[in-house]
Amino acid sequence: MSDTAYSNDRPEVLRQGGEGSAGDFFELLKPRVMSLVIFTALVGIALAPGGIHPVIGFTALLCIAVGAGASGALNMWYDADIDAKMARTANRPIPSGRVAPQEAAVFGSILSVFSVMTMGVLVNWVAAALLAFTIFFYVAVYTMWLKRRTPQNIVIGGAAGAFPPMIGWAAVTGSVSLESLVLFLIIFMWTPPHFWALALFRSGDYEKVGVPMMPVVAGERETRRQIMIYSVLLVPVTLLPGLMGFAGALYTGATALLGFVFLALAFRVWRAEPGLRQDKAAKGLFAYSIVYLFLVFSLLLVERLLGL
Amino acid sequence: MQDDDNERHKIEAPVWTEEQIKKRRQRNLAIAWTLAGFILLFFVVTIVKLGGNVANRPM
């Protein structure tokens, strides 16, 4: 027995690191979340007035993607204790022992610094500052501070996911404008119904690890009511681009239709009886919410590309 | 006594398995490619930003 005995019964080499493959480190970047971030940031870049050289635009997207990935890695490092106890996350690189916590922390920190500095040097410092703030917001404000303390965690934490189109816009214009704020608001308002729908049929997992998700703390009835409220707020916000003149009739018409379906599904969740019917309604809304956000941003992009 | 102390403070060299060596090589290659891409990105952006002025410097 040496002086450095560990109480943990994992093999020592796992705690020291050196076990993970390149793919395990890539998984730390939460590639699926990253793809949505890249897409919404691309829409921000495409909509911003003035245009940008494709190489600089690509660089901005790369920095946003790496910055988002870095915050994902830092989130996984901080949340490894609860990830290990939830079925959905138990096989992530840290709880499964493939990557040591300190490796993930260093990996995430280095990528954060490099993404922000590269954005500043090669694109502009307004976009870099917004990217730095987004990483700080997701890691410190959401992951470390709010996630385990308040059922409003995802409302405020959702802001971190709403910043990418704003950063994309700032990469082109070097500023923050009302239009980019509207793109931010669309994702910000979309996040609560999206995540609470998930939480309605996954609340057991969150309850087990003590994360105060809305259904756990305030009950399913209140969660269903809040989903309805945020959905009612979301739909008019998605119509703002048309009213403000940076989206056309195609966007406005299609988004109104998509919003109507969103409201109908949210209403079904609101009125559902607890139990299987509620789970079914929540799953329906959750699945549709992903398609919905993708389509709303696609419409903005398509209109701009077609010059409508 | 001296021997005991030596034994206590001895640092064990890690023993790497074939699998670990393979993964380490894979990680190192990923880092190498990333760094090469990073350098290339800075080079290309510099050319884009300077444009025709790349060659324009006083002798």
CA distance A182 to A208: 37
Say which residues have a Cβ less than 8 Å from residue A191's Cβ, sequence separation at least 6.
Answer: A154, A155, A157, A158, A161, A162
Which residues of chain A have a CB within 8 Å of the CB of B26?
A: 21-22
Name the residue in chain A with its Cα closest to that of B29: A22
Residue keyed to tokens 């549709």: A288
Query: Of A3, A114, A122, which is closest to B45 when you measure between CB atoms?
Result: A122
Q: Mean pLDDT over residues A206-212, rounded?
A: 85
Q: What's the pLDDT tens digit per position in A179-203?
A: 999 999 999 999 999 999 998 888 7
User: Does the beta carbon of B24 lie under 8 angstroms from any beta carbon of chain A?
Assistant: yes
CB contact at 8 A, A85 and A206: no
CB contact at 8 A, A215 and A223: yes
Q: What's the pLDDT tens digit per position in B5-56?
A: 666 777 777 788 888 899 999 999 999 999 999 999 999 999 999 887 777 7
Minimum mean pLDDT range among A132-141, A191-200, A277-286, B8-17: B8-17
Q: What's the pLDDT tens digit per position in A29-84?
A: 999 989 999 999 999 999 999 889 999 999 999 999 999 999 999 999 999 999 99
Check CB contact under 8 Å for A18 and B14.
Answer: yes
Q: What is the pLDDT of residue A282?
A: 94
Nearest residue to A23 via CA among B27, B24, B50: B27
Check CB contact under 8 Å for A53 and B14.
Answer: no
Model-level ipTM above the cut of 0.85: no
Q: What's the pLDDT tens digit per position in A78-127?
A: 999 999 998 889 999 999 999 999 999 999 999 999 999 999 999 999 99
Residue type (1 letter), B50: L
CA distance A267 to A59: 42
Check CB contact under 8 Å for A20 and B23.
Answer: yes
Neighbours of B52 (CB within 10 A): 7
Half-sphere exposure of A24 toward its Cβ, with a 13 Å CA cutoff? 22
Q: What is the pLDDT of residue A226?
A: 94
Instruction: Give Cα A10 to chain centroid, integer Å.
Output: 32
Q: What tokens does B29 get?
A: 């290659």
Check CB contact under 8 Å for A55 and B44.
Answer: yes
| Res. A254: pLDDT tops 80 | yes
Which residues of chain B have a CB within 8 Å of the CB of A13?
A: 14, 20
DSSP helix, strand, coil percent of chain A (3-state; round to 5): 75, 0, 25
CB contact at 8 A, A256 and A239: yes
Check CB contact under 8 Å for B42 and A122.
Answer: yes
